[in-house]
Amino acid sequence: MPRSTARREEILTVAGELFRQKGYHATSMQDIADRLQLQRGSLYAHIDSKEELLFEIVDRAADRFLEGIERAWREGRTARERLRRALAAHMSVIADHRDTASVFFHEWRFLRDDLRRRIQVKRDRYEARWRELVADGVRRGEFRAVDPRFAALLALSAVNWAYQWYSPEGPLSPAEVAEAFADLILQGLEGRGAPATAELAARAGAAASPGSAPPGAAGADDGAGSR
Amino acid sequence: MPRSTARREEILTVAGELFRQKGYHATSMQDIADRLQLQRGSLYAHIDSKEELLFEIVDRAADRFLEGIERAWREGRTARERLRRALAAHMSVIADHRDTASVFFHEWRFLRDDLRRRIQVKRDRYEARWRELVADGVRRGEFRAVDPRFAALLALSAVNWAYQWYSPEGPLSPAEVAEAFADLILQGLEGRGAPATAELAARAGAAASPGSAPPGAAGADDGAGSR
Amino acid sequence: MPRSTARREEILTVAGELFRQKGYHATSMQDIADRLQLQRGSLYAHIDSKEELLFEIVDRAADRFLEGIERAWREGRTARERLRRALAAHMSVIADHRDTASVFFHEWRFLRDDLRRRIQVKRDRYEARWRELVADGVRRGEFRAVDPRFAALLALSAVNWAYQWYSPEGPLSPAEVAEAFADLILQGLEGRGAPATAELAARAGAAASPGSAPPGAAGADDGAGSR
Amino acid sequence: MPRSTARREEILTVAGELFRQKGYHATSMQDIADRLQLQRGSLYAHIDSKEELLFEIVDRAADRFLEGIERAWREGRTARERLRRALAAHMSVIADHRDTASVFFHEWRFLRDDLRRRIQVKRDRYEARWRELVADGVRRGEFRAVDPRFAALLALSAVNWAYQWYSPEGPLSPAEVAEAFADLILQGLEGRGAPATAELAARAGAAASPGSAPPGAAGADDGAGSR
DNA sequence: TATGAATGAGCGTTCATTCAT
DNA sequence: AATGAATGAACGCTCATTCAT
């Protein structure tokens, strides 16, 4: 199989979109072919299997997330700054590669054992980086003596879950969401003075039309109920 | 259809387990029947359709989560206490009804429009309660003037994501997990003094054999790789 | 799967017939279903796979051939008599289970490794019996000091090949064919006196309409060119 | 289409090999192209269809067999000698053009009606020659008054079947196999004195390691179990 | 209640072949 | 001569569901 041709990229893009909207199992090769105005068998001139599509989408997402935290680590000076950058990087991936990221979180478990294991390795490395980042902050005295596991998990949960509700069409940029979370995670609910997100709060509140659910809805995606 | 018989409950239990392990679409009626040593067709003496099973599982989970936060609100006096109770209640549902909760998060989007909307209503109410809880804390002066949307979302994300990694076989009780998160959310990373979770940290660290990955793994569930 | 129901036997019969006529790979489940006025998927209520059909057909044939030679060995007194009986038994299987026998010779190699090996064991045993039969005759002094391998192979080839040309509708009974071969194999071309088949020759010659090809054509089967 | 170019011959050779190993229907144009390091579609610059390949392979084999018996007839003086030569010629074709011969026996029936009929004509002619050869021997008084049909069929069956078990890598040359069969066919099992194959028997016995099974196995070919 | 045979649609994939380049 | 993208049909098989018994 050619690793990368224009047609193949088209297929991957469409597959990513459909996998996110309908789920891997509920998306048929027919669905993908229809969007490209192709016969379903014709896809196999470009790919080996449906599962290959899933793997490639998930693998690319894993690489993007990993790249993000590696760069955050390299480019940040303090633990505080690194955490902010890591949150921002994660949000960026979700914003810029919405389909891919969503499939990464939702559908990776449908990969067969060997492929899933390869993804698991990257997931584990990603999470380990987060824990190191927090542990380093504790060691430096920037953070309280919290359990790095829980603290990393809190930060990660916040941004992991974002694929469920974040929309690039909403009023907030990925950077702004990351900053709001960073503020909360660093300072907590019971703290001194006004949070950095005071102004954001106003904006988000103003823009939130009822039913559109930003942010706070653990919300329904588009497309899911189509079939 | 009889709304509730012993057989029907058996079917729901098995379906919940399989939906969690393999996903809704990858679970066949055959799979369910096999576990109950029944013929495929015999299931339809008790249920109307596969989708009905999914709806009922998801709907029950929604009710449990809602019940939890309502009681937390009623029984807690301070915002701080209510938040702790709400986190604990959520973790309890995840721990006590693991299959149901997992299906609630993962598979609800495969419901057809009308059924999905009914679930959406309950999800929205649940999230609204969380926002009210935070907003109330801000109003009372217990919390900083944070955006309730973001703060509620942070707390909710932490426990929502827990269905991905929490295992009742792990070293931590749901209450302990909830407490750890509460501590972090309330105090933040940069707080004063030792966190309430200092002792927990030791225990979790001691018990966590590499590979078993609690807490911190966004990890793979059992059963997913069955095919 | 139920090992034997009326429907299942019907399917096996039809499959045997079609596999012989068109070959295993050129026969589709659709073809089989059509003959039974069934949907192609409905077959799978009775069988596990197409290959299972092939295996069962081939395995039954193997058993019949084996049974035949075992009985010939038990019931014959002299080597001469045993050889005659073995030839007759083989021809009987071909005559009475034409489809099965034909598939046994032609299609067995399309079984996957493990199933093919199970058949191979029976084939090997069958051929070993033939060699023992001849070797015993040589030992007893009934036969010349021929190589049992070649002699057994000659006899076996004659009757193995019969599935290609023998037709129950032809003028000769399986017993008569077996006798003619037995006479030739035992006495050879250069011998004393008239062969036992002198009368047969007349009959066969009279009945052989040109083109119907009995015996002597390595001939075409019916049905092969249908698709 | 060019009738014969170097490329075309390559294709025919590869097709013959694959058709023998896997069967006509189980061999795809992809398989053939792969071996030649060509694209599927490129084959059609040299041939018209897959069936054309089959026809040409089978037709060439038919010609070779026919040529063999014609020459045996011309070059032999006595019936006995002609029979020996005919057997040897047949074995030579099988040994020297193993793929082609094997496909001739196994796959010719997959030709469509008109092409199959053209092959049938040659097969009929070939068998007729064998019968004439025997009939002539009877007429001359060299052979017993056997039915020429059965006698020809016996000889033909022996060598026809050889494509199933004969291997050029085995201990016996085609000529030796032919001689062994000729001896048996001419003299029969119950003859006078030692057979001409006494020495052969020793050699074959010595060389035949159990499992390799020459001669006597109606055996499995290489390649069949590839999938 | 439960069976088991059947349906009819759909699945992912392979196929021989075509054709513009 | 050869490529590579595409076709359209067919493949073996699975699915949720129905229904007479």
- For chain B, the average pLDDT equals 87
CA B167 – CA B170 distance, rounded (Å): 5
The CATH architecture of the domain made up of C54-207 is: Orthogonal Bundle (1.10)
Mind listing the pLDDT tens digit for each residue in B67-97? Answer: 999 999 999 999 999 999 999 999 999 999 9
Going by C-alpha positions, the residue among C215, C184, C178 that lies closest to residue C89 is C178
Strand F lies under 7 A from the Cβ of residue D112: no
DSSP letters, D190-207, are S-SS--TTHHHHHHHHHH
Q: How far is CA C203 from CA C165, C175, C193, C216, in A?
A: 17, 14, 20, 15
The confidence score (pLDDT) of residue D193 equals 52
CA→C1' distance for B56 and F17 (Å): 19
CA A16 – CA A99 distance, rounded (Å): 5
Alpha-carbon B109 to chain mean position:
16
At B117, list the tokens.
């909307």
- The nucleotides of chain F lying under 7 Å from a protein CB are 1-20
Count CA within 13 A, CB hemisphere, residue C145. 10
> By three-state DSSP, how is residue D33 classified?
helix
* 8 A C-beta contact, residue C182 and residue D146: no
* 8 A C-beta contact, residue C79 and residue C136: yes
Q: How far is B6 from chain A (nearest CA, A)?
A: 31
Handedness of CA D119, D121, D123, D129 (dihedral sign): negative
Which residue among C150, C189, C217 sits closest to D215, beta carbon to beta carbon? C150
Q: CA-nearest residue of chain C to D24? A: C25
The confidence score (pLDDT) of residue D200 equals 53
Q: Does C1 touch chain D (CB under 8 A)?
A: no
Q: Name the closest nucleotide to C39, judged by C1' and CA.
A: E7
Yes or no, beta carbons of A134 and B189 under 8 Å apart: yes
Which residue among B83, B161, B195 sits closest to A157, beta carbon to beta carbon? B161
At A224, list the tokens.
């899911």
Going by C-alpha positions, the residue among D207, D104, D221, D83 that lies closest to residue D165 is D221
CA C184 – CA C166 distance, rounded (Å): 18
Q: How far is D6 from chain C (nearest CA, A)?
A: 31
Count CA within 13 A, CB hemisphere, residue C173. 5
Count CA within 13 A, CB hemisphere, residue D151. 35
DSSP letters, chain B, are --S--HHHHHHHHHHHHHHHHH-TTT--HHHHHHHTT--GGGGGGT-S-HHHHHHHHHHHHHHHHHHHHHHHHHH-SSHHHHHHHHHHHHHHHHHHTHHHHHHHHHTGGGS-HHHHHHHHHHHHHHHHHHHHHHHHHHHHTSS-S--HHHHHHHHHHHHHTHHHH--TTSS--HHHHHHHHHHHHHH-SS-SS--TTHHHHHHHHHH--TTT-TTT--PPPTTTT--
Strand F lies under 7 A from the Cβ of residue B226: no
CA→C1' distance for B42 and E1 (Å): 8
- The nucleotides of chain E lying under 7 Å from a protein CB are 1-20
pLDDT confidence of A119, banded at 50, 70, 90? very high
CA C171 – CA C169 distance, rounded (Å): 7
At B197, list the tokens.
């979770």
Give the count of Cβ contacts less than 8 A between chain A and B.
Answer: 224
Identify whether B215 is preceded by a cis peptide bond (ω within 30 of 0). yes
CA B41 – CA A130 distance, rounded (Å): 49
CA C33 – CA A172 distance, rounded (Å): 60
Q: Which residues of D spanning 88-107 put their CB closer than 7 angstroms to strand E?
A: none
The confidence score (pLDDT) of residue C63 equals 98
Residues of B in contact with A208 (CB under 8 A): 149
Which residue among C151, C183, C224 sits closest to D110, beta carbon to beta carbon? C224
At D58, list the tokens.
């089978």
Q: How far is B22 from chain A (nearest CA, A)?
A: 8
pLDDT confidence of A199, banded at 50, 70, 90? low
Strand E lies under 7 A from the Cβ of residue C40: yes
The CATH architecture of the domain made up of D1-48 is: Orthogonal Bundle (1.10)
Q: What is the mean pLDDT of residues B202-227?
A: 38
Give the count of Cβ contacts less than 8 A between chain C and D.
Answer: 225
* 8 A C-beta contact, residue A131 and residue A78: no
Going by C-alpha positions, the residue among A68, A107, A98, A65 that lies closest to residue A85 is A68
3-state secondary structure chain A: CCCCCHHHHHHHHHHHHHHHHHCCCCCCHHHHHHHCCCCHHHHHHCCCCHHHHHHHHHHHHHHHHHHHHHHHHHHCCCHHHHHHHHHHHHHHHHHHCHHHHHHHHHCHHHCCHHHHHHHHHHHHHHHHHHHHHHHHHHHHCCCCCCCHHHHHHHHHHHHHCHHHHCCCCCCCCHHHHHHHHHHHHHHCCCCCCCCCCHHHHHHHHHHCCCCCCCCCCCCCCCCCCCC
Per the listing, tokens 């090769």 go with A29
- Amino acid present at B108: W
Strand E lies under 7 A from the Cβ of residue B40: yes
CB proximity under 8 Å: A 159-218 to B: 160-162, 165, 180-181, 183-195, 197-198, 200-201, 204-205, 208, 213, 215-218
CA→C1' distance for C38 and E14 (Å): 24
Q: Which of C147, C163, C197 to mutate to test the interface with D (most CBs of D within 10 A)?
A: C147
Q: Tens place of pLDDT for every residue, chain C, 227 residues? A: 556 799 999 999 999 999 999 999 999 999 999 999 999 999 999 999 999 999 999 999 999 999 999 999 999 999 999 999 999 999 999 999 999 999 999 999 999 999 999 999 999 999 999 999 999 999 999 999 999 999 999 999 999 999 999 999 999 999 999 999 999 999 988 765 555 555 555 555 443 332 233 333 333 344 433 33
Alpha-carbon C4 to chain mean position:
23
Which residue among D144, D153, D225 sits closest to C116, beta carbon to beta carbon? D225
Measured between its terminal Cα atoms, the distance across chain A in Å is 31
* 8 A C-beta contact, residue C21 and residue C223: yes
Residues of C in contact with D215 (CB under 8 A): 149-150, 153
At D175, list the tokens.
């000529």
The confidence score (pLDDT) of residue A157 equals 97
Q: How far is A42 from chain B (nearest CA, A)?
A: 25
Q: Name the closest nucleotide to A8, judged by C1' and CA.
A: F5
- The string over A66-95, giving b where at least 16 C-beta atoms fall within 10 Å of a residue's C-beta and e elsewhere, is bebbeebbeebeebbebbbbbbbbbbbbbb
The confidence score (pLDDT) of residue D172 equals 94
Residues of A in contact with B210 (CB under 8 A): none
* 8 A C-beta contact, residue D92 and residue D195: no
The confidence score (pLDDT) of residue B215 equals 36
Yes or no, beta carbons of D180 and C147 under 8 Å apart: yes
Contacts of C147 (CB under 8 A, 6+ apart): D180, D195, D197, D198, D200, D201, D204, D205
Going from N- to C-terminal start, the domains of chain A cover 1-48, 55-207
Indicate the CATH number for domain A55-207: 1.10.357.10
> Length of chain B, please?
227
Q: How far is CA A186 from CA A155, A190, B140, in A?
A: 10, 11, 22
> Length of chain A, please?
227
CA→C1' distance for C7 and E5 (Å): 10
CA B181 – CA C116 distance, rounded (Å): 61
The confidence score (pLDDT) of residue C201 equals 52
* 8 A C-beta contact, residue B159 and residue B87: yes
Yes or no, beta carbons of B188 and A189 under 8 Å apart: yes
Strand F lies under 7 A from the Cβ of residue C78: no
The class of domain D51-204 in CATH terms is mainly alpha
Subunits in contact with chain D (3 or more CB pairs closer than 8 Å): C
Number of CB atoms found within 10 A of residue D63's CB: 12
Phi and psi at residue A137, in whole multiples of 5°?
-65, -40
CA C3 – CA B96 distance, rounded (Å): 44
Yes or no, beta carbons of D150 and C123 under 8 Å apart: no
Yes or no, beta carbons of D110 and C200 under 8 Å apart: no
Yes or no, beta carbons of D188 and C186 under 8 Å apart: yes
Identify whether D215 is preceded by a cis peptide bond (ω within 30 of 0). yes
Q: Does C66 touch chain D (CB under 8 A)?
A: no
Which residue among D106, D120, D150 sits closest to C181, beta carbon to beta carbon? D150
Q: Is D213 left (phi over 0), alpha (psi -120 to 50) or beta?
A: left
Q: Which residues of C spanning 145-204 put their CB closer than 7 angstroms to strand F?
A: none
Yes or no, beta carbons of A189 and B137 under 8 Å apart: yes
Q: What is the mean pLDDT of residues A103-132?
A: 97
Number of CB atoms found within 10 A of residue D42's CB: 14
Model confidence at B191: pLDDT above 50: yes
Closest CA to F14 C1' — which residue?
A: C41
pLDDT confidence of A189, banded at 50, 70, 90? confident
The confidence score (pLDDT) of residue D188 equals 82
Closest CA to E18 C1' — which residue?
A: D41
At C133, list the tokens.
């039969």
Yes or no, beta carbons of A190 and B186 under 8 Å apart: yes
The whole-number mean pLDDT for each consecutive block of 10 residues of chain D, a chain of 227 residues, reads 82 98 98 97 97 98 98 97 98 97 96 97 97 96 94 96 94 96 91 56 42 34 39
Q: Which residues of B spanning 51-80 put their CB closer than 7 angstroms to strand F?
A: 51
Yes or no, beta carbons of D191 and C194 under 8 Å apart: no
